[in-house]
Amino acid sequence: MTLYPTDRVALFIDGANLHASTRALNADLDFRKMVESFRKKAVLVRAYYYTAVIEGEEFSPIRPLIDFLDYNGFTVVTKPVKRFTDGQGVTRTKGNMDIEIAVDMLELAPHIDHAVLVSGDGDFRRVVEAVQARGVRVSVVSTLKVQPPHIADELRRQADDFIELADLLAEFGRPRTPATAPSIRTFPPEPA
pLDDT (tens digit per residue) in 92-133: 777 789 999 999 999 999 999 999 999 999 999 999 999 999
| CA neighbor of 172 nearest in space, from 6, 13, 7 | 13
84 forms beta bridges with: 92
54 vs 60, 63, 83, 85, 95, CA distance in Å?
7, 10, 9, 16, 9
The pLDDT-based confidence of 15 (bands split at 50, 70, 90) is very high
Nearest to 124 by CA among 148, 152, 149: 152
User: Does residue 69 carry a pLDDT above 90?
Assistant: yes
Q: Express each pLDDT in 165-174 by its tens digit.
A: 999 998 988 7
The least confident of 17-21, 25-29, 123-127, 180-184 is 180-184
Least confident residue range of 29-33, 38-42, 84-88, 97-101: 84-88
State the first-to-last Cα distance of the chain, in angstroms, to the nearest integer: 35
The one-letter amino acid at 10? A
Residue 51 reports pLDDT greater than 60: yes
**What pLDDT, on a 0 to 100 scale, did the predictor assign at position 63?**
86
SS3 128: helix
C-alpha dihedral over 7, 104, 168, 44, to 10 degrees?
A: 30
Q: Measured between alpha carbons, how far is 153 from 34 in angstroms, rounded to an integer?
A: 25
Q: Report which DSSP code applies to 135.
A: T
pTM (2 d.p.) = 0.86
Confidence at residue 84, expressed as pLDDT on a 0 to 100 scale:
78
